[in-house]
Amino acid sequence: MDRRLFLAQALAAATATGETPDPHRWVSLFNGKNLDGWINVNTDPDTWFVKKGELICKGLPIGVMRSARMYENFILHIEWMHTEPGGNSGVFVWSAARPDAKSRLPDGVEVQMLELDWPKLHIKDGVEPPVAYVHGELFGVGGVKTVPDNPRNTRSKSIENRCLPRNQWNLYDVVCVDGTIKLSVNGKFVNGIAKSTQKKGYLCLESEGAKIHFRNIRIMELPLGVTSAEQSAAPL
């Protein structure tokens, strides 16, 4: 499906009355003052904190914090900024928020957030990882399977490189509907996956070794779909 058509249909579903989309339908997931609405899953009490209206993760230990409730069909707007070379983080959607004991990370579909120097800092045997890593890859983890729009093995890579380097804000708009995800990076849709085997769950913000800043996290919920128990994370 054409990305513009997909977004148009999602927005139309959000306002089934035929009215112009109402900005008040957006709900903030971060109030700029504290961590209300978020639950620490397996990080330290000081891993996440608020400073000058920004939600900051210090990156250690590896782990996540999750949204207080689950979401099914929605549009997520989230802005993020790395401050360290090669910083690593992301947001998991449709997650059960039950971390693996070894990786300390949960299942779901990960929306990757990497600083642009990540490939050059992870050269192995003289081979530098592809730049595709750092511009909003999408992939299922923890047993969740997806079909990539732009395959890089089982992952989906962005068709255009749009992420900005450290100390600059990046804007993601993530449209999640009935097992399909389309990702806009800094104002342009460039990636997607389909047929996710899990399509209802928690949002999880990731702590993975480097400081990262977040702001303007908000969500617009869309009408529910036909989702079986097997396609939904179990409530916590």
Identify the CA nearest to 9 among candidates 81, 73, 53: 73
pLDDT at residue 1, as a whole number: 52
Rounded (10°) CA dihedral 49, 53, 55, 56: -70
Per the omega criterion (within 30 degrees of 0), is the bond before 61 cis?
yes
Q: Which helix (H) or strand (E) holds 92?
A: strand 88-95
Amino acid at 220: M
* Residues β-bridged to residue 220: 75
Amino acid at 10: A
Tens-digit pLDDT profile for residues 71-93: 999 999 999 999 999 999 999 99
- Whether 209 and 157 have beta carbons less than 8 Å apart is answered as no
Compute the distance between CA of residue 66 and CA of residue 42 in angstroms, rounded to an integer. 10
pLDDT at residue 16, as a whole number: 44
| Low-confidence residues in the chain, pLDDT < 50 | 13-24
What is the widest separation between alpha-carbon atoms in the chain? 58
pLDDT at residue 227, as a whole number: 96
pLDDT at residue 235, as a whole number: 96
pLDDT at residue 17, as a whole number: 37
Identify the CATH assignment for 3-20+38-224 out of 2.60.120.560, 1.10.3720.10, 3.50.50.60, 3.40.605.10: 2.60.120.560
- Whether 168 and 60 have beta carbons less than 8 Å apart is answered as no
Provide φ and ψ at 56, rounded to 5°.
Answer: -120, 135
- Whether 183 and 172 have beta carbons less than 8 Å apart is answered as yes
